[in-house]
Structure 1
Amino acid sequence: MSEHCYVYILTNKLNTVLYTGVTNDLVRRIFEHKEKMVEGFTKKYNVNKLVYYGVFSDIKSAIQREKQIKGITRQKKINLINIMNKDWKDLYRDICG
């Protein structure tokens, strides 16, 4: 998966907190969140369930999309997640192959 860049949204067990991030290695980055290797917001609020991701061919496009998502309302983020993942299941196993 490392030839692409990704924007992702994580949530917590109760789906009450949303976190948006960007990476060039989605499997590694989500693993780091799950293992609480990432200091800060996701570790503090136990945000480690992958509910959305988008694939981009370059980091510039991925960062641009990350900024767009961070700038929209919570409801629009929920709508975006629902389009890809209406049951809000953890997509981590799906991306691990």
Structure 2
Amino acid sequence: MRVGGHSFWVYIVASGPCGWLYVGMTNDLIRRIDEHRHGQIDGYSRERGTDRLVWYEHHRYVDQAIRREKRLKRWLRPWKFALIEQANPHWTDLYATLLPQPTGCP
């Protein structure tokens, strides 16, 4: 199942550094993280307060993104921590980096 020219994202949100983790996949990362931040994702994510984007990865094809998401969900917590800390050692919330930055010009 390949859909060319699209964007798919595998992501990890956390409740805080080394806290609860949620691994997900979406075709609209900003919308999906906004839903996490506002508690609109029922179940595990809302119950655990996983609302900070700490890692994400782009995929061009949906089947690749689904495969990666399923693989990451099976990983042990220390492996996920290492993946996050390789790209984001301070567990910074990356949500703001997704938003368009104002240019400062009127």
Q: Which residue of 2 aligns with 1:18?
A: 21
Q: Equivalents in 2 of 1:40, 1:93: separation in Å?
A: 25
The equivalent position to 1:64 in structure 2, one of 58, 62, 67, is 67
Tell me if 1:82 matches 2:85: yes
On the 8 A contact 2:17/2:91 being kept in 1, the answer is no
Q: State the AA in 2 paired with 1:33.
A: H
CA distance in 2, matches of 1:14, 1:77: 12
Runs of 4+ residues deviating >6 angstroms: none
* Per-residue CA distance 1:2-29 (angstroms, 9 max, x = gap): x310000010035310110000000000
Answering whether residue 77 of structure 2 is matched by residue 43 of structure 1, we say no
- Distance of aligned partners of 1:41 and 1:13 in 2 relative to their CA distance in 1, 3 Å threshold: same
TM-score (norm. length: structure 1): 0.93
Runs of 5+ unmatched residues, structure 1: none
* 2:18–2:81 contact (8 Å) kept in structure 1: no
Cα distance, 1:91 vs. partner?
Answer: 0.2
Tell me what 1:34 maps to: 37
Q: Distance in 1 between matches of 2:17 and 2:59?
A: 29
CA RMSD across the alignment = 1.0
Q: Which segments of 5 or more consecutive residues in structure 2 lack a partner in the other structure?
A: 1-5, 101-106
Q: TM-score with structure 2 length normalisation?
A: 0.85
Partner SS, residue 86 of structure 1:
coil
